[in-house]
Amino acid sequence: MVDQVSEMVEHMERMKMTPNEKTFSALIHGLSKQGKPNKALEMFDKMKRSGYNGDLPLYSSLIEGLLKERNLGMARNVYVEMKENGISPDVQLLKLMISGLLREKEFSSACQLLEEGEDLNMCNMVFYYNTVLDELIKHGDINRACKLLCMMLRSKGLSVPELDTNDEINCSTETVSDQLFRINQPVCPNADSYSIVGIGCKGTLLMYNNLIHELCNVDRLEESYELLKRMEESGFLATGFTYNSILYCICKRGDLPPALDLLRVMRQYHHLPWIKHSTLMVQQLCEKGKVSEAAGFLDEMTALGYIPDMVSYSAAIDGLCKSGEVDKALQLFHDISSKWSLPDVVAHNILISGFFKAGRWRKALEIYEEMLKKELVPSHVTYNLLIDGCEGRYEDALMLWNEMREKGCAPNQIIYTALIHGLCKCGRPDVAIVYFNEMKEEFELDHFVYLLLINSSIAKGNSVKAFQLLKEVLEKDNFPSNSPKALGLMKKAVSKLLEDDSTSLDVKLLFKGKTMPSRVANYLHCLE
């Protein structure tokens, strides 16, 4: 039917006859409903050229059709044109536009439209206000959320002062807490949603929790406490999410006493702390050098009935090892084993690393043996620590290497490098070259491995092999010329090869660029 009317309009135009406003409007409405917003816009242009102006229903129909086709940009243009023509939107059109903006996650623009419609009936916009408020709070735009909230209050005739939105503290603490709770009425604690400030709008606990959560995210702990206090005084019960948001802020500061106080309150109201917070607290305390307090914090949590996970315990063990208190770390490790559960591979790796760094390699190997008895599968990290820790004992390193292969754990590039490094330091470049060639078949070798082997070969009197490796490494791109360690090894190798009659001339020719690509000159510049 719409197509027939459209053809009729085209026929009338050919006959130099002009359809009336009613005909144009009916056709535009029909095209929009049929999902043909572009044709509807073309017809609207013809209508305007004929001297007719659109009204609110017509603009609403056009915008609705465009939004159904996800053409938000054009819908926004039509909306702006409508306002420029002196036509104000009604609640229904605002809902259409705000829905389209929310669907495209343009929350700031949605908020702007809500602000434009301040004189309209807010109770008809409940869902939209709550959605925009939640999103503003989630994205940390607390000031704008406050402004929108106060606008809602004014729409119901409540006395709310104009906000100075540049005053961040005023907006978050005084305005939000006062206006949310001062004129609110106590509610049933088990209610899923509460009536916000008597204006008929539903606000879930999510809205309050989000505000506290965002304040805590930006380290505004004191304001969060104030908001929690007002919340409880007005009859609202804080949830586990509320307490955990505040606990996160406290743990991020590494402030032990208030964290324990809050945990006791949470215990009283049967709320469980998020385990990641205990890990964060332990890490913060360890970074501040308060390792004993970190271990004590875990004991306090246990005494309150909260059992930290292995990540938290591993963080405490790591802190003790880094501070040199490996025996205390081992004691905590055994306490966990006897009281709760078997420590995982990560905890074992931390201890192995700690004892190697403390020079107690036998104890490190004992922990590895215990790990195998518990039927835990060593990781690449485990073998890297073990092989790297066997400094000066290359037979042990090779034994571990073979054991690793037998257990089906294929060595990665890091483990290969650790083994080659250890063999070179032991003065065994002849053995290291075997693993070097094996590694070369599977991985792209970095310059560091080459330089280790070059210097080790020179030290054992094999300058010819060292020169061959030097030529090979210089053919590689991206030599780390800004690495002091790499440059130091390169300078040492070149100096020794220049002193050796069997390689001196070859090295000079190499760096003059006669036998190598011109980029070698860059290396010579680095060595000067």
Q: What is the pLDDT of residues 393-424, one digit of tens each?
A: 878 888 888 888 888 888 888 888 888 888 88
DSSP classification of residue 203:
E
Contact criterion met (CB below 8 Å) for 438 and 407: no
Q: Please give the Cα distance from 118 to 102 (Å, whole number).
A: 18
Residue 274 makes CB contacts below 8 A (sequence gap 6+) with 244, 247, 248
Using alpha carbons, list the distances in angstroms from residue 410 to 34, 83, 384, 416.
63, 69, 12, 10
- How high is the pLDDT of residue 198? 37
pLDDT greater than 80 at residue 296: yes
Which of 39-53, 100-114, 237-251 has the highest average model confidence (pLDDT)? Answer: 237-251
Q: Please give the Cα distance from 237 to 246 (Å, whole number).
A: 15
pLDDT tens-digit series, residues 439-479 = 888 887 778 888 888 888 888 888 888 888 888 877 776 56
- How high is the pLDDT of residue 16? 57
First to last CA, the chain: 87
Tell me whether residue 314 is exposed, middle or buried, using C-beta atoms within 10 angstroms of its C-beta: 0 to 12, 13 to 18, 19 or more: buried
Range scoring the smallest mean pLDDT among 147-156, 363-372, 484-493: 147-156
Q: Please give the Cα distance from 278 to 247 (Å, whole number).
A: 9
Q: Please give the Cα distance from 97 to 293 (Å, whole number).
A: 55
**Rg for the chain, CA atoms, rounded:** 36
The residue ranking higher by pLDDT, 170 or 440, is: 440
Range scoring the smallest mean pLDDT among 77-81, 174-178, 326-330, 331-335: 174-178
The residue ranking higher by pLDDT, 204 or 411, is: 411
Q: Where are the domains of the chain?
A: 1-88, 377-445, 449-528
Task: Retrieve residue 417's tokens.
Answer: 């490098």
DSSP classification of residue 443:
S
Contact criterion met (CB below 8 Å) for 361 and 355: yes
The CATH label, of 3.40.50.2000, 1.25.40.10, 3.40.50.620, 3.40.50.2300, for the domain at 1-88 is 1.25.40.10
- How high is the pLDDT of residue 175? 41
Range scoring the smallest mean pLDDT among 57-66, 225-234, 350-359: 225-234
Q: What is the residue-averaged pLDDT of the chain?
A: 75
Contact criterion met (CB below 8 Å) for 290 and 284: no
DSSP H helices in 56-204: 56-68, 72-84, 91-103, 107-116, 126-138, 142-155, 168-169, 176-177
Contact criterion met (CB below 8 Å) for 267 and 304: yes
Task: Retrieve residue 375's tokens.
Answer: 């039927």
User: What percentage of the chain reaches a pLDDT higher than 70?
Assistant: 73
- How high is the pLDDT of residue 196? 37
pLDDT bracket for residue 523 (50, 70, 90): low
Contact criterion met (CB below 8 Å) for 201 and 114: no
The answer to whether the Cα torsion of 210, 212, 215, 219 is positive or negative is negative
Contact criterion met (CB below 8 Å) for 279 and 312: yes
pLDDT greater than 70 at residue 18: no
Q: Please give the Cα distance from 505 to 410 (Å, whole number).
A: 42
Q: Please give the Cα distance from 353 to 417 (Å, whole number).
A: 17
- How high is the pLDDT of residue 454? 86
AA identity, residue 84 = E
- In 3D space, the residue among 270, 215, 214 whose CA is nearest the CA of residue 237 turns out to be 270
The residue ranking higher by pLDDT, 114 or 360, is: 360
Task: Retrieve residue 176's tokens.
Answer: 């939000």
Task: Retrieve residue 305's tokens.
Answer: 């009935």
- How high is the pLDDT of residue 415? 84
Question: Tokens 């599977």 identify what position?
Answer: 442
- How high is the pLDDT of residue 268? 84
Contact criterion met (CB below 8 Å) for 380 and 412: yes
pLDDT bracket for residue 338 (50, 70, 90): confident
pLDDT bracket for residue 134 (50, 70, 90): low
pLDDT bracket for residue 163 (50, 70, 90): very low
- How high is the pLDDT of residue 172? 40
The answer to whether the Cα torsion of 506, 509, 511, 516 is positive or negative is negative
The answer to whether the Cα torsion of 346, 348, 351, 357 is positive or negative is negative
Q: How far is CA 373 from the centre of its chain?
A: 38
pLDDT bracket for residue 519 (50, 70, 90): very low
* Beta partners for residue 202, in sequence order: 195
Q: Please give the Cα distance from 509 to 512 (Å, whole number).
A: 5
- How high is the pLDDT of residue 11? 52
Range scoring the smallest mean pLDDT among 17-21, 52-56, 67-71, 167-171: 167-171
Q: Please give the Cα distance from 312 to 398 (Å, whole number).
A: 34
Dihedral over alpha carbons 139, 145, 146, 147 (to 10 degrees): 130
pLDDT tens-digit series, residues 212-260 = 887 788 888 888 888 787 777 666 788 888 888 898 888 888 888 888 8
pLDDT greater than 50 at residue 190: no
* Beta partners for residue 395, in sequence order: none
pLDDT greater than 70 at residue 526: no
pLDDT bracket for residue 194 (50, 70, 90): very low
Q: Please give the Cα distance from 66 to 285 (Å, whole number).
A: 56
Contact criterion met (CB below 8 Å) for 194 and 236: yes
Range scoring the smallest mean pLDDT among 47-61, 182-196, 351-365: 182-196
pLDDT bracket for residue 165 (50, 70, 90): very low
* Beta partners for residue 195, in sequence order: 202
User: What is the mean predicted confidence (pLDDT) over 60-71?
Assistant: 86
